[in-house]
Amino acid sequence: MAVQAQYPSNILLLNRNGQEGHDYSLQPQPGGFLDQSHMLFTNGAIEEKEAEVEKATRRNAELEARAAQLSVEAQVWQAKARAQEATAASLQAQLQQAIMSGGMVTQDNRRGDEGGIGCSGGVDGQAEDAESAYVDPERVTVTAGPSCKRCRKRAATVVVLPCRHLCLCTECDQTAQACPLCLQVRNSSVEVFLY
């Protein structure tokens, strides 16, 4: 068994002489100064590496905290987006319901007016209804409201979204890709009933 004893000027090696005896001898370690300086250099390198590891650990903890914060922010933004989508869907449903109820009221009023005046009914009444139901698409009507900015023949009854211009008739709305006034690409449209 060998044990090293370190002295300021040299390193000595302690050897046990024999297997059972308590006899030891000290022998100088050759190159002790080189080994000692190497040990000091190794200790400095270890301390430097430990400082780097500690710095990396702190940076890792900071990055993990930032990642957790960003994850929470992402969840908040997703919740806001879902709420906005729900609001948009609700408003779209209300708009569709208003359009449908507006159209139904107009049709009911027309039927009520025809029935209230007292038409003769029978075969002549059905023929009159068939004639009044036919609408010539080429017919030019003079309207008091704004005219369609595309065909300039029919009344403008469609609002183009997102620019909100009231500028198309229902026929031109089916084929229009952009608003004829501002040339902005449209993403939807809403038919309005002006009285």
Amino acid at 42: T
β-bridge mates for residue 13, sequence order: 4, 27
Residue 21 or residue 93, greater confidence: 93
pLDDT digits (tens, 9 = 90+) for 17-36: 555 556 666 566 555 454 55
pTM, rounded to two decimals? 0.30
Asked if 187 and 171 touch (Cβ cutoff 8 Å), the reply is no
φ/ψ region of 116 (left if φ > 0, alpha if ψ in -120 to 50, else beta) reads alpha
pLDDT band at 111, cuts 50/70/90?
very low
